[in-house]
Structure 1
Amino acid sequence: MTDSRIPVTEDELHAWVDNELPAERRGDVEAWLATHPDDAERVQSWRAMAEMLHARYDQVADESVPRRLEIERLVRQPRKWMAGAIAATLLAFIAGGGAGWMARGVSAKPAAFQNLTLDALDAHKLYVVEVRHPVEVPGSERAHLQQWLTKRCGWEVRAPVLEATGLKLVGGRLLPGPSGPASFLMYEGPTGERFTLYTSRAKPDTAQMRYTAAENSGAMYWSEAGVGYVLSGPGDKDRLSQVARLVYDQTEKAGG
């Protein structure tokens, strides 16, 4: 007998999608999904991403999946809910990519963008809610901000002009990145929506844009000349893609 009132964990949802859930628990999870449409929608999106992944890469990927990405191993590790979320994020990135964006050079290994993007989303969620102190250097000092971040980070940091998308530069700050310093720029629209651009060293390069979503936020990732870019903002993928294209057009000229 199943009972939809029995709480279902994040790990169990991932295990259900991957057909690794114990048989005695499947009925409970299915009953839960029948009465929790938000979780059912998430599960469906994960399954769709997995199918897209297999359709795109099964014929060209001869190597087996790294053991660190096996769901069974992740489930056994501490803080299992985080491991499951990372696995879902990886699927979203690998299966994603904006229309018309073609990869130039080698594709990024999962770890190359996983840590960078998680750090960028964490910073985005932390600072976009700040009212008085969202940045260290205000947008009115754009030239100084770019010069300061360029000196500290070691590559040319540009604060793109995004007025064409209705976004104005709020300012920026210096943050620690996965492999050194990271630059963090914030933009704001007339309705209060905020976007952030996080950059840090990242290899290998992948000019193909990749998309992921977490809670109410979304992010577009790409890298050029050894520098990774993560544009984070509201979860509207079309809006993110619009802003990301304008950012890309300006930052790719920086070289790195």
Structure 2
Amino acid sequence: MNDDHDSSLPEGFDLRALSAFVDGELPPVEHAAIEAQLPQEPQAVARVAAWRAQKAALRALCGAPQRNEHNEHDERSGSVGQSAADEPAFIVVRRPTPWWQRVGLAACWLAAGAGLALALGPLAPRLTGGAWNGLGGSQPPSFAERADVAYAVYTPERRHPVEVAANEEEHLISWLSKRLNRPLSVPSLQEYGYSLVGGRLLPGEAGPAAQFMYENASGARLTLYITGISRDETAFRLFRDGNRRTFYWISDRMGYALSGPIAEGKLRSIAIDVCSALGGKPEDWQ
């Protein structure tokens, strides 16, 4: 058997505890203890980052859905999930499929996908409430993709999710308004159970961008991304990436994007209220 202790890790850490920390398998008290100790141990931080990157790559490779932090907390508390004993302890190695079989299979899937697109294309606006631009539609603008990436990067942060916290809201709005060269305001989402966490400055496509973050009582987060854009149009569309959804719109040469993993209908309702609060005209989308 291999020793659980790794000589490359500092005293007080072992592979088993660190691995359980990454997998969300520790009780809350032990998880919090390791999380508090990590910032003082660069080697352990590097090991955790490497394992998390490896897990993310494996999920992407296998097409597995990403787990949100609320589920991971449930797993640590023992209400959801599997134990380490439930994980497979072996690897199945299969004989590679000949290239000509792979090419034929790919051609079949391509033909099936094209047929499905033709069959469902006319129904897409009805199924998505008019928020989907169709399989043949244009790609989402870069600011919507940037908003989605910013959501994925910053919402998992527990200790440093924002640069300026909500208790300095006046300073936050003044600072970001100055950087974007436009008066900004922070819409309230209390009606939907979300409170402001704070905000940060981000690089946009052609200048600065602002991100405001909200959180509800269960820890779920939404972000509002705002940036200047070069064109002006009336647009309101939906962009999806995994379990994340982003409703984005353009108004008065400003791009807005509301991102989160909540139900599409609820996110749309919040986006409409946010647009109205920011001086937009959501009635143009109906």
TM-score range, shorter chain: 0.5 to 0.7
**Aligned residue number for residue 121 of structure 2:** 51
Matched positions, count = 178
Of the three residues 129, 133, 141, the one matched with 1:94 is 133
Report the CA distance between 1:93 and its aligned residue.
5.0
194, 200, 215: which one aligns with 1:167: 194
3-state SS of the aligned residue for 2:279?
A: helix
Gap runs ≥5 in structure 2: 1-60, 64-99, 281-286
Contact 1:171 1:187 (C-alpha < 8 Å) held by counterparts? yes
Aligned match of 2:164:
137
Cα contact 1:49–1:95 (8 A) shared by 2: no
Gaps of 5+ in 1: 1-7, 11-21, 32-39, 57-91, 97-108
Contact 2:124–2:132, Cα closer than 8 Å, also in 1: no
Distance 2:119 2:249 in 1: 19
Higher relative contact order (CA 8 A, sep 6+): 1
Residue of structure 2 equivalent to 1:245: 272
- Percent of aligned pairs with the same residue? 33
The question of whether the paired residues in 1 share the 8 Å contact of 2:125 and 2:132 is answered with: no
1:228 and 2:255 are equivalent in the alignment:
yes
Cα deviation for residue 48 of structure 1 reads 7.2
RMSD: 3.8
> Does 2:229 correspond to 1:202?
yes
Change (3 A) 1:237 1:150: same
1:179 aligns with 2:206: yes
TM-score (norm 1): 0.59
Take 2:119 and 2:174, find their aligned partners in 1: how far apart are those partners? Answer: 40
Q: How far apart are the structure 1 equivalents of 2:200 and 2:125?
A: 41
Query: How far apart are the structure 1 equivalents of 2:256 and 2:181?
Result: 15
Encode CA deviations 1:95-132: one digit per residue, 9 max, x unaligned.
39xxxxxxxxxxxx957x52111111110000000000
Taking a change above 3 Å as real, the CA distance of residues 9 and 139 of structure 1, as seen in their structure-2 partners, is closer
Q: Secondary structure at the match of 1:135?
A: coil
What is the CA–CA distance in structure 1 between the aligned matches of 2:221 and 2:118, rounded to whole Å? 29
Q: CA deviation at 1:152?
A: 0.7
Distance between the aligned counterparts of 2:62 and 2:231, measured in 1? 35
Name the TM-score, length of structure 2 as normaliser. Answer: 0.54
Whole-Å Cα distance in 1 between the matches of residues 169 and 107 of structure 2?
Answer: 52
